[in-house]
């Protein structure tokens, strides 16, 4: 079975459905269409009696580098005026989040196979899967926690606990697959050359279990998270994500991107540069140096 899509590819083989994020030229950057197509593929896999396990992966050298925000930041697209409608924003981002979270809500188990990067919104997709297997040198994190973002799936705290989730989201740092495994964020981290084989072994092991057993075990575990208020936490995270993009600091970030380009704004943010409360003046071009002091 092959779905007609533009941002993903879909294949079924050996009782597994393989969803591949397929924008390798943009490091599989996320669009609203990609979210909808992920949800459609998950629905297709759940309706297929031949499928017992779903594997999500990225084409090329990355799982996903996050939302495709260059045009939004540089041109101000999808950023509302000063008097903005938080419910309009909430509805847009909840739709995206629900599409990603179809992987968690899927009756059948889901595995994320991560090489390269699963960062920003890409980490939301990976952490929406039941199990995550990473290359040991791949990186995962949510850098927009520094400015202009809040992880809408809220899965960092449910996977890491409060202290380590704070360590990640109060810094915006990324960690390697090896460290993610050590912290318990992901189930395994292996050399990149072994990643495909290890995921296949895990998927094959699950595929030997009857569908009804897989569904019941997953439903029971997911119910524990629902009892802890997962949906309520997500609603708060989605609302906060909209606020971060329309706060004074969020507007400062957009103005920075419009003056110097999105890549320069992201470098400033991700290198740990100081971001002033309330925004403040935009740094001059001659202040845009990398962490070694070299000019960008």
pTM of the model: 0.94
Q: Does the residue 292 lie in any domain?
A: no
Token pair recorded at residue 288: 């845009």
85-129, pLDDT tens digit by residue?
A: 999 999 999 999 999 999 999 999 999 999 999 999 999 999 999
Tell me the C-alpha distance between 37 and 177, whole Å: 27
Tell me the C-alpha distance between 268 and 245, whole Å: 17
Whether residues 197 and 225 share a domain: the answer is yes
By the 8 A CB rule, do 163 and 205 touch? Answer: no
235-264, pLDDT tens digit by residue?
A: 999 999 999 999 999 999 999 998 999 999
Whether residues 160 and 277 share a domain: the answer is no
Q: How many domains does the chain have?
A: 2
Q: If we measure between CA atoms, which residue out of 3, 54, 44, 32 comes closest to residue 100?
A: 32
Whether residues 234 and 256 share a domain: the answer is no
Tell me the C-alpha distance between 29 and 165, whole Å: 24
Whether residues 231 and 254 share a domain: the answer is no
Q: What are phi and psi of 2, to 5 degrees?
A: -130, 120
> How many other β-carbons are positioned within 10 Å of the β-carbon of residue 7?
21
Q: If we measure between CA atoms, which residue out of 97, 178, 99, 67 comes closest to residue 133?
A: 178
């Amino acid at each position: 079975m092959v779905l007609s899509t533009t941002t993903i590819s879909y294949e079924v083989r050996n009782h597994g459905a393989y969803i591949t994020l397929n924008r390798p030229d943009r490091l599989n950057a996320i669009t609203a269409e990609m979210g909808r197509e992920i949800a459609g593929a998950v629905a297709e896999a759940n309706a297929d009696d031949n499928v017992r396990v779903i594997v999500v992966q990225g084409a090329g050298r990355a799982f996903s580098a996050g939302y495709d925000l260059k045009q939004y930041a540089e041109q101000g697209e999808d950023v509302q005026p000063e008097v903005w409608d938080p419910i309009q924003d909430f509805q847009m981002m909840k739709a995206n989040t629900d599409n990603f979270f179809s992987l968690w809500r899927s009756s059948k188990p889901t595995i994320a196979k991560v090489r390269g990067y699963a960062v920003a919104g890409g980490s939301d997709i990976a952490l929406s899967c039941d199990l995550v297997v990473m290359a040991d040198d791949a990186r995962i994190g949510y850098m927009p926690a520094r400015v202009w973002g809040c992880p809408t799936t809220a899965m960092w705290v449910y996977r890491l606990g409060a202290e380590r989730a704070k360590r990640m989201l109060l810094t915006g740092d990324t960690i390697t697959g090896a460290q993610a495994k050590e912290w318990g964020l992901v189930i395994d981290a292996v050399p990149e050359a072994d990643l495909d084989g290890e995921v296949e072994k895990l998927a094959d092991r699950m595929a030997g279990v009857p569908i009804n057993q897989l569904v019941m075990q997953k439903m029971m575990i997911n119910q524990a998270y629902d009892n802890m208020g997962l949906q309520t936490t997500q609603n708060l995270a989605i609302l906060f994500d909209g606020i971060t993009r329309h706060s004074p600091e969020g507007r400062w970030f957009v103005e920075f991107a419009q003056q110097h380009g999105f890549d320069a704004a992201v470098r400033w943010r991700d290198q740990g540069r100081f971001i002033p409360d309330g925004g403040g003046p935009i740094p001059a071009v001659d202040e845009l140096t990398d962490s070694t002091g070299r000019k960008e």
